[in-house]
Structure 1
Amino acid sequence: MSAEIDRRTGPAEAPRSLVRFAVVTVLTGVGAGIGGMALALLLHAIQHVAYGYSVAHMISTESFLEGVTDTVPLRRLLVLTVCGLIAGFGWWALYRFGRPLVSIRQAVKSDNPRMPGVSTTIHALLQIITVAMGSPLGREVAPREIGSVWAAWLAQRAGLSVRDRQIMVACGAGAGLAAVYNVPLGGAVFVLEVLLCTFDWAVVVPALATSAIAAVVAWIGLGNEHQYQVPQFTLTAQLMVSSVVCGPLFGLAAYGFTRLTSRARALAPKDWRLPVLTILNFAVIGLLAMSWPQLLGNGKGPAGLSFDSHLTVGLAAILLVLKVVITSSSLRSGAEGGLLTPGIAIGALFALVIAGLLNQIWPGMQPGAFAIVGAAAFLAASMQMPITAVVLILEFTRVNHDLLIPILLAVGGSVSTLKLAARWFPLPFVPAKRPVGAVSIERTA
């Protein structure tokens, strides 16, 4: 166990029961898997009904991007306006009448690691509903919250020590991530690198176990699906050199994006202004989506198009600018959600623009391959989790091993650049009282 957790819990902790801990570990994985699967199925069902595609199937071969592109533009505007209504009045009512939310990071650090079950569940459902209807924010926070709430309740009922309850809350979050995205290793590494900041074997074992169990359980309803289908890329001199040279550019972009989104969250209202701003914000997004349906959703669509090299440089540049703007404006209006998939999309679009320019100087660059490199570099820096970002990108895309070299080179450059920029110009402080899932000034949990 890390020295940090030991200092918090103190040396007087009674020896834990390995049997009870093992049982809670297994049940945490099972519960997080069921929760993540249920949230993903709910997301698909709402998407199909809202945009009128593949209504008879929760899981279909037709993607969300294909569904929203095929629907009439006016429907996109109407759905996004309704999304703003639900987001605004939903979160306003939660803040007004619900119990105060406790973030996963706060629960992990607390001597009483518990999260309010009803309020956290409503918070998670609002994120899933709004993302399904077209919110540009990510859906990954919701399954992490559900997994952590379940793990905290189990650990409390089992009478585990404070230290073990903290571990299980973190493992529940990683298992939820693993379930909804089918990334068992990524979920475990997220627990170790981001939430608990230790690779001690006493944490590694439950983190790996819960994430693996959750991913397998989620296969029951979601199947063993991959997030992105990408072609096989070859390692070229252009890709290697560009990854080294452009890594710092992704770090600078991530620094700017982090400042922008942190500031937006800090200024988000929780009073009567919240529904007003969210309705206005999502109505504007709906208007933009009438011309650019790729903007709808968490960013999986444009990221996939970037990896497949199916976007022109001009369209990628337009989507890049608009994606940054609507992501920040949604946070500023008071909407909640993650930044994982939006970060992947922004990094991929930025890389596609750079690749188009570099090909004018040194032809031969594979835009799709560089988009994957850029997605990893931007995600690693913007969320300050380099190892987790690399693992997630590898599990999302299943790219060949050779592409790992340029990814690591670009990630190293981007993270180092962000750290230097943050040292010279510190990131803005975001109050700790924000709702669960908000961005930390040190690391996004």
Structure 2
Amino acid sequence: MPSARRVPARATPAWLARLVVVTALVGVGAGVGGGLVYLGLHTIQHLAFGYSEGTFLEGLLDAPPASRVIALALAGVIGGVGWYFLRRWGRRSPARTIVSVESAVGGRRMPGVVTLLNAALQVIIVGLGASIGREVAPREVAAWWASWLSDRAGVSARERRILVACGAGAGLAAVYNVPFGGAVFAIEILLAEISFATVLPALATSAIAALVARVVVPANPLYVVEKLPLQPQLVVWAVLAGPIIGFAAVGFVRLTRLAQNHRPKSWGILIVMPVVFTAVGVVALWLPAILGNGRSLGQLALTATLPVVVILLTTVVKTAATVGTIGAGAAGGTLTPSFAIGAGLGLTLGGIWELAWPGEPIAAFALLGAAAFLAVTMRAPLTALLLVMEFTNQGPDMLAPLMLCIAGAVAVGYVLERGRVTGVA
């Protein structure tokens, strides 16, 4: 006779119905939060640079060049003052400390006011042109909502952990319209567990969030890229370039980690952030694509609308600007900056490859470079693969070279990071 322990005591129709309702509400809240982040970001961009339609880069180019410096200086002041008081407030009381999504998944409670203010500051500075990703804000808002809702619903600690992770993934899915990528982000990165208990709510919340956010978030892919054909030279290039891109990605990860560890701890942010941001604005007078979360550079690399040398220069400066922004004390992500830097690096390596074996559309090299670089920086090959496919709306022809390039990059990243931990590197 089977033991009664095989059937959870909570597995009743009422419990199941409540869990379904909570899961759906997590998805709806993540969709609303993602939509609000999208609207806020684009409203600030349009107001700061005086354009009403077109892309962020087009708005920058049409606006007076001095607006880039003014907007970045303003972002530095707002961010510096905002995070100074927010972090100082948190130091006075642990209950008001900024809590990351990863910590929330681990069980810590996210204070509502602090979380929302932290997200708002991220949206403001990215909207004004700061060189950092926007994806952390919707993830934090959605994770906070899932945490608050879980506490009110009285779910178990394990259920709460799963819902918070799924909420964060759903926030990502909402703001970028990537339902599959958001679900896999929650499963692969935050939960590191594949089971019915994690997959079903991850898929449901991300799908609901993406559908809700679609009221304001465009349904078209984030990047406009032609459908790329599979050719032999691309497969060979993927195998050879993957390790190189992985090495570069590890360097970027270490630079951002170093910047994070040495950011101003107290009143220094009031000086450092405005100075660094203004300096980035000055450089943007010549290289406007370094501003924002990286979408501009990513699109330029994927379409190769500028000479390869200019793309490479912009990629190097974008890397420095992103690291500097993190080092100045800003909160934010590196998802789209990593995509952009990887695309620029891939385009550069592809341009060299074309001299020896021409024939492949150069956008394919940028695409593979973006995926491989992102896989290493996120430590999530599956998430990176799916995000890139959804970002660019590519078909199955690109799967094989993408997987080969990602595998080579992640293998190198694993070896280098493992060597660093053991003291070899």
Please confirm whether the aligned pair reaches a TM-score higher than 0.5, indicating the same fold. Answer: yes
**SS, match of residue 215 in structure 2:** helix
Residues 54-133 of structure 1: pairs in structure 2 closer than 5 A: 54=52, 60=53, 62-98=54-90, 99-110=96-107, 113-133=108-128
Contact 1:250 1:374 in 2 (8 A): yes
| One-letter amino acid matched to 1:78 | I
**SS, match of residue 335 in structure 1:** coil
| One-letter amino acid matched to 1:28 | V
Contact 2:297 2:315 in 1 (8 A): no
| Map of 1:315 onto structure 2 | 310
Offset of residue 142 of structure 1: 0.3
| Map of 1:27 onto structure 2 | 25
Residues 402-421 of structure 1: pairs in structure 2 closer than 5 A: 402-421=397-416
In structure 2, how many angstroms separate the alpha carbons of the residues matched to 1:76 and 1:270? 27
| One-letter amino acid matched to 1:329 | G
Offset of residue 427 of structure 1: 9.4
In structure 2, how many angstroms separate the alpha carbons of the residues matched to 1:31 and 1:217? 9
| One-letter amino acid matched to 1:109 | G
Number of equivalences = 410
In structure 2, how many angstroms separate the alpha carbons of the residues matched to 1:228 and 1:415? 24
Among residues 194, 199, 207, which one is paired with 1:204 in the alignment? 199
Offset of residue 216 of structure 1: 0.2
| One-letter amino acid matched to 2:89 | F
Contact 1:152 1:165 in 2 (8 A): yes
Note the residue ranges of structure 1 that are not aligned, 5 or more in a row. 1-10, 55-59, 429-445
In structure 1, how many angstroms separate the alpha carbons of the residues matched to 2:346 and 2:417? 22
Residues 347-358 of structure 1: pairs in structure 2 closer than 5 A: 347-358=342-353
| Map of 1:280 onto structure 2 | 275
Contact 2:177 2:217 in 1 (8 A): no
Deviations 1:26-71 (A, max 9, x none): 00000110010011001000000000001xxxxx4x0001001111
Contact 2:87 2:97 in 1 (8 A): yes
In structure 2, how many angstroms separate the alpha carbons of the residues matched to 1:310 and 1:208? 37
Offset of residue 89 of structure 1: 0.6
In structure 1, how many angstroms separate the alpha carbons of the residues matched to 2:405 and 2:357? 19
In structure 2, how many angstroms separate the alpha carbons of the residues matched to 1:400 and 1:32? 28
Residues 102-251 of structure 1: pairs in structure 2 closer than 5 A: 102-110=99-107, 113-251=108-246
| Map of 2:41 onto structure 1 | 43
Q: State the percentage of identical aligned residues.
A: 46
RMSD: 1.5
**SS, match of residue 110 in structure 2:** coil
| One-letter amino acid matched to 2:30 | A
Among residues 397, 418, 423, which one is paired with 1:423 in the alignment? 418
| One-letter amino acid matched to 2:156 | S
| 1:52 paired to 2:50 | yes
| One-letter amino acid matched to 1:362 | W
Contact 2:89 2:97 in 1 (8 A): no
In structure 2, how many angstroms separate the alpha carbons of the residues matched to 1:305 and 1:269? 33
| Map of 2:3 onto structure 1 | none
Deviations 1:158-186 (A, max 9, x none): 11111111111101101100000000000
In structure 2, how many angstroms separate the alpha carbons of the residues matched to 1:200 and 1:13? 16
CA separation of 1:226/1:390 partners in 2, compared to 1, >3 Å: closer, same or farther? same
In structure 1, how many angstroms separate the alpha carbons of the residues matched to 2:344 and 2:167? 32
| Map of 2:293 onto structure 1 | 298
Contact 2:126 2:133 in 1 (8 A): yes
| 1:344 paired to 2:339 | yes
Contact 1:259 1:427 in 2 (8 A): no
Deviations 1:261-290 (A, max 9, x none): 011001111311012110000110010111
**SS, match of residue 425 in structure 1:** helix
| One-letter amino acid matched to 1:321 | V
Offset of residue 108 of structure 1: 1.1
**SS, match of residue 222 in structure 1:** coil
Deviations 1:182-220 (A, max 9, x none): 000001000100000011111110000000000000011
**SS, match of residue 285 in structure 2:** helix
Contact 1:260 1:328 in 2 (8 A): yes
Contact 1:73 1:291 in 2 (8 A): no
Offset of residue 151 of structure 1: 0.6
| Map of 2:93 onto structure 1 | none
CA separation of 1:12/1:400 partners in 2, compared to 1, >3 Å: closer, same or farther? closer
In structure 1, how many angstroms separate the alpha carbons of the residues matched to 2:157 and 2:186? 17
Note the residue ranges of structure 2 that are not aligned, 5 or more in a row. 1-5, 91-95
Q: Please give the TM-score of this superposition, normalised by the length of structure 2.
A: 0.94
In structure 2, how many angstroms separate the alpha carbons of the residues matched to 1:285 and 1:18? 52
**SS, match of residue 154 in structure 1:** helix
In structure 2, how many angstroms separate the alpha carbons of the residues matched to 1:233 and 1:167? 37
| 1:267 paired to 2:262 | yes
Among residues 16, 21, 26, which one is paired with 1:18 in the alignment? 16
Offset of residue 426 of structure 1: 3.0
| One-letter amino acid matched to 2:61 | T
| Map of 1:434 onto structure 2 | none
